[in-house]
Amino acid sequence: MNQKKAKSGRIEPYLYIVPSFILFAVFLFYPFFKTIYLSLYKTNKMGEAKLFVGLQNYIDLFQSSSFYNSLAVTLIFVVIVVTVSMLLGLITAVLCNRTFPGIRAFSTAYALPMAIASSSAAMIFQIMLHPTIGIINKLFGTDINWLNDPNTALICVAILTAWLNSGINFLYFSAGLSSIDETIYERASVDGANGVQKFFNLTLPGLSPIMFYTLVVNIIQAFQAFGQVKILTEGGPNDTTNLIVYSIYRDAFFNYRFGSAAAQSVILFLIVMVITLIMFRLEKRGVKY
């Protein structure tokens, strides 16, 4: 009896994770391995694997100027989005780190972007940037077709995405600021430190762990941006906003090249994984963010 109880005690904990494991298997592991499988085949219009081609889909991608353009556009987009969204989140969190009248209203406003769907925000942004009736041109007295100009389209999409991501960044940094001991600021004031010195020598080092986490999350989110590109520009003009996720979508559901789309998905996964591993390695070596 004791042996049976011991065995059931060893097995019982694993039974509790079976439902979660099934969900992961169906919605994560299966799609992942299916994507790798399809990347090695030519498919029909239904996405069914028909002809095994090995690495040919990958070879075709690395010989395609369109794919390299998509990678370059995506990297520029990620840099803009991550930089602006983290700055917005950090600045607003610092502003709301002190108690003053209306603090709750300001905090709600700064966190609001995380509750707005990207498609809804993109539609509003599209009206604001309209060349004739848009409020942006009226405010600045310009006549720019923001979303159809190759010089401004990517920046517009990136700024919208950065604003959408800034809400959750505000919450992350607010939580990080609340964990910093206030007494160190008091001691710094006694030593004659000003506000700028406190921020760079006390606040930023205190936020280093949460900043690392926020940086990783923002990079992953930026690489996955899709809805705003679909609504605002559809990859144009002249592929200047053809992010790799939108390129995957277009290859799969417009050109019916599911094998090529799967290969791009695998490459995107590898890029994000390598960047994340590099950042974790730097973090272990004590690099401050």
Q: Do 128 and 7 share a structural domain?
A: no
Asked if 260 and 57 count as a contact pair (C-beta separation under 8 A), the reply is yes
In a domain? residue 151: yes
Pair (108, 154) in one structural domain: yes
**Rounded to two decimals, what is the model's pTM?**
0.87
* Same-domain check for residues 71 and 139: yes
Same domain for 79 and 204?
yes
Check whether the bond before 237 is cis (ω within 30° of 0): yes
The three-class DSSP label of residue 50 is strand
Number of domains in the chain: 2
Confidence of residue 85 (pLDDT cuts 50, 70, 90): very high
Residues 95, 196 within the same domain: yes
pLDDT digits (tens, 9 = 90+) for 129-158: 988 888 998 888 888 889 998 999 999 999
On whether the CB atoms of residues 241 and 233 are closer than 8 A, the answer is yes
pLDDT in tens, 15-64: 888 888 888 888 888 888 999 999 999 988 888 888 898 899 999 999 98
- Are 139 and 250 members of one domain? yes
Domain assignment of residue 289, yes or no: no
Residue 236 lies in a domain: yes
Asked if 25 and 100 sit in the same domain, the reply is no
| Within a domain: 53 | no
The parent domain of residue 76 ranges over: 58-284
Q: Quote the pLDDT of residue 154.
A: 94
Q: Are residues 25 and 150 in the same domain?
A: no
**pLDDT exceeds cutoff 60 at 289:** no
Residue 4: pLDDT over 80: no
pLDDT in tens, 96-141: 887 777 778 878 888 888 888 888 899 999 999 988 888 998 888 8
Cα separation values, 201 from 97, 101, 167, 188, 197, Å: 17, 28, 25, 10, 6
